[in-house]
Each structure stands twice: as structure tokens, then as C-alpha cells.
Amino acid sequence: MPNNQFKRGELYSVINGMASTAVARRLQKNFRQSGLEITIEQWSVLYHLWKEDCLSQQELCNRTFRDKPSITRLIDNLEKQKLVKRTASKTDRRINLVCLTDAAKEMQQVTIDIANQTMNEALVGVIKEDIETVKKVFQQVFDNLI
Amino acid sequence: MPNNQFKRGELYSVINGMASTAVARRLQKNFRQSGLEITIEQWSVLYHLWKEDCLSQQELCNRTFRDKPSITRLIDNLEKQKLVKRTASKTDRRINLVCLTDAAKEMQQVTIDIANQTMNEALVGVIKEDIETVKKVFQQVFDNLI
DNA sequence: TGAAATTAGTTGCATAACTAACTATATGCC
DNA sequence: GGCATATAGTTAGTTATGCAACTAATTTCA
């Protein structure tokens, strides 16, 4: 078998993130077509703030799986777009609490609808059981590497 | 149910590419620890050239799922590092054939060993059957969105 | 109490992504 | 042949990522 060293090859698509990239691109496209001027990365930050507002930047790092500089700059851009506001914590002066503006709160429902619709497009022909398996495997991979 | 609009929430980790990001980071770290000075993006280009050398940039776009500017710059950097060389096609003067240097050929085995080892680390505790399911779902998602 | 270690956040640098606009070559078709 | 169209690749601008080094505030503990 001449290509023995590539026997795992199909799995490198996981490394390249081809499936998640495809989903992300489609979501970005769907946002754009609805006239929403946010990136998927910004959206993923807003997503966690909609679940729980006024998180510290560190907490956003943990929840979005990004490092601190990435969050610093995402928050910079979100602040420029008036979607969030940094507020100094009263109990710990090192901490910035990142809070949603009214404009961001208004975006919640429509963007989540678009995200759900995008996931539906992505998952056509995929049975629920297999989705559960993917979630399980992802969690295991995540736990193995973190 | 107050959080109804988030019912699909767990799946947004697919959009965020958390699992593939974790694998990619680990692979990058393993490369670095072996003294290999390449990025995973560069590696993914080399990977396709090891399978078939002297591909056009457009073909590399298709196989690595990147757009043309991304490939232009990846090839720029790989050329600076003397790992590939652009060669004009003799039959179509628009086309650059991207060919491996000897230095790149020598990197094949060790980097693929590291990638396989990284996948093994990532997949500890995951059964073969579930891996097949993930591959199947990814392929379906990909086909749905491309 | 006060020095050392930890934690939160920022900045600088290199690489990479997407979009849009561009050049150059090739192909199709009248 | 020659114009319209398509294809291959590059460039410019904005956003994002990872790492390392940095400041400022807090906690630990001798």
C-alpha cells in the first residue's frame, strides 16, 4: 500500500476545520444578506453575553475559547460599533465587565434565528442520533486536548 | 422554557470550530516542540503536495478549501522558506505549478508522524465507529453547504 | 507588613482569513 | 480575426489568531 502514511488522511479535514469553516462561511453570508454588519467572531461573543450579560473579558475567553488578546480586540471592535460597553468592576479594579448595549440586545432574536436556520441548512440529511455522536466526540476531543 | 432560543446552542461550537481549533493548536505545538518551523496552514498545503506534487494554485485552493488570495500568500511564505517553488506551466501561461523542494520532501515523514500522533492524542477514548460517524456527518455538512 | 507570585487586561509582531478590485492569459463565438 | 467572457493569479484593506512581553491590581505568605 503505497500511501500507507496517509491512512488517517481523511481526519485531517478536522484539523483544517473544513466542516466548521463551511458552516461559518454560510452563517456570515446569511448575516450579510440580512443586512447585519457583524462578523461571526463578534456574534459568538454577543451570543455568550445574551446568555449572561456583563461578563469579564477573562470569562469571555473561557467561554469562547479564545485567548486574551483576541478578546481584547474583539471587544475593541464591538465597542466601536456600539454593541458592547466596558465597565470597570466595583469589586476588582483589574476587571472590565463587558455589557451589551440596547442595540446589541435588539439583534439577539434575528441573529439567533439566522444561526438556527444556518444549522438547519447544514444538517439536512443528518439524523439526530449522529448529531449527538458528533457532539459527544467533539467534547471528548476537547477534553483530551485542553 | 426561558432559553428556548438557545436550544441549538451546543452546536454553535461547530461554528466556532472549537474542536478543530483545539486539534490545530496541539498540532502546532507538537510541530514546534520537534523544531519544525511551519504553520499548520503551510503544512496543510504541503500535505496535498506530498500526495501529488506540482499542483496549480487553483487546484490547491480546491483541495485545501481556501480562496485564491490565501493560497497566494501561503505560497509566498512557503517559497521564502524554500519549501516550494513556483514554476510556470508550459501549456497555460496563466498557471503557476507549485512544486516541492528537496527540503520539503524531507519533512514529509516526520510531520505526518506528528500529525498521526496528534490525532491519536485527540481521539483517546473515542471509538472507531463514532469517528466514522463524525466523518460521515462532516461530509454531509460539507456537501450541503458547498 | 511587604516582597513574590498570580491574575486581568493591553500592545506589538507575524501569519492568515475574506472581499473586492485588479492584471494577464485563454477560450468561445460571431 | 476580434470582441466578450471566463479563468489564474496578485494586491489592498479590514478583521482575526497566536505568542511574547508588558502594566496594573490583587492575593499569598513568610
Note the pLDDT tens digit of each residue in B55-105. 999 999 999 999 999 999 999 999 999 999 999 999 999 999 999 999 999
Residue B3 lies in a domain: no
**Better-predicted residue by pLDDT, B16 or B126:** B126
CB neighbour list of residue B7: distance below 8 Å, 6 or more residues apart: B1
* pLDDT at A142 (0 to 100): 85
* Stretch among A62-66, A97-101, B70-74, B102-106 having the lowest mean pLDDT: A62-66
Distance B92 CA to D3 C1' (A): 21
Residue B145 lies in a domain: no
Residue A40 lies in a domain: yes
For the segment B108-117, the average pLDDT, to the nearest whole number, is 92
Angle (CA) B35-B24-A39 rounded to 5° is: 130
Residues 13-42 of A near strand C (Cβ < 7 Å)?
21, 25, 28-29
Q: Are strands B55-56 and A84-88 parallel, antiparallel or unpaired?
A: unpaired
User: Given an 8 Å threshold on Cβ–Cβ distance, is A20 in contact with B17?
Assistant: yes
Q: Is the pLDDT of residue A32 over 70?
A: yes
Which one-letter DSSP state was computed for residue A86?
E
Residue B141 lies in a domain: no
Q: Are strands B96-100 and B84-88 parallel, antiparallel or unpaired?
A: antiparallel
User: Given an 8 Å threshold on Cβ–Cβ distance, is B137 in contact with A125?
Assistant: no
Closest-CA residue in chain B for A110?
B5
* B2 touches A at CB < 8 Å: no
- The tens digit of pLDDT for each residue in A47-61 reads 999 999 999 999 999
* Stretch among A68-72, A92-96, A121-125 having the lowest mean pLDDT: A121-125
For the segment B31-54, the average pLDDT, to the nearest whole number, is 94
Angle (CA) B11-B135-A23 rounded to 5° is: 40
Q: Is the pLDDT of residue B43 over 60?
A: yes
User: Edge-to-edge strands of the sheet including A84-88?
Assistant: A55-56, A96-100, A84-88
Q: Give the CATH number, domain containing residue A22.
A: 1.10.10.10
* A27 touches B at CB < 8 Å: yes
- CA–CA separation, B50 vs B43, rounded Å? 10
Residue A3 lies in a domain: no
Q: Is the pLDDT of residue B2 over 50?
A: no
* pLDDT at B103 (0 to 100): 95
> Nearest CA to A114 among A35, A53, A45?
A35
Q: Is the pLDDT of residue B12 over 80?
A: no
Residue B126 lies in a domain: no
Alpha carbon distance, N-terminus to C-terminus of chain A: 35
Query: Domain limits at A35?
Result: 10-145
The number of folded domains in chain A is 1
Residue A132 lies in a domain: yes
Which of B131, B138, B139 best probes binding to A when mutated, by most A CB atoms within 10 angstroms? B138
Q: Is the pLDDT of residue B112 over 60?
A: yes
Residue A112 lies in a domain: yes
- A97 φ, ψ to 5°? -90, 130
How many angstroms separate the Cα of A21 from the Cα of each of A40, A83, B72, B74? 11, 25, 19, 18
For the segment B36-52, the average pLDDT, to the nearest whole number, is 94
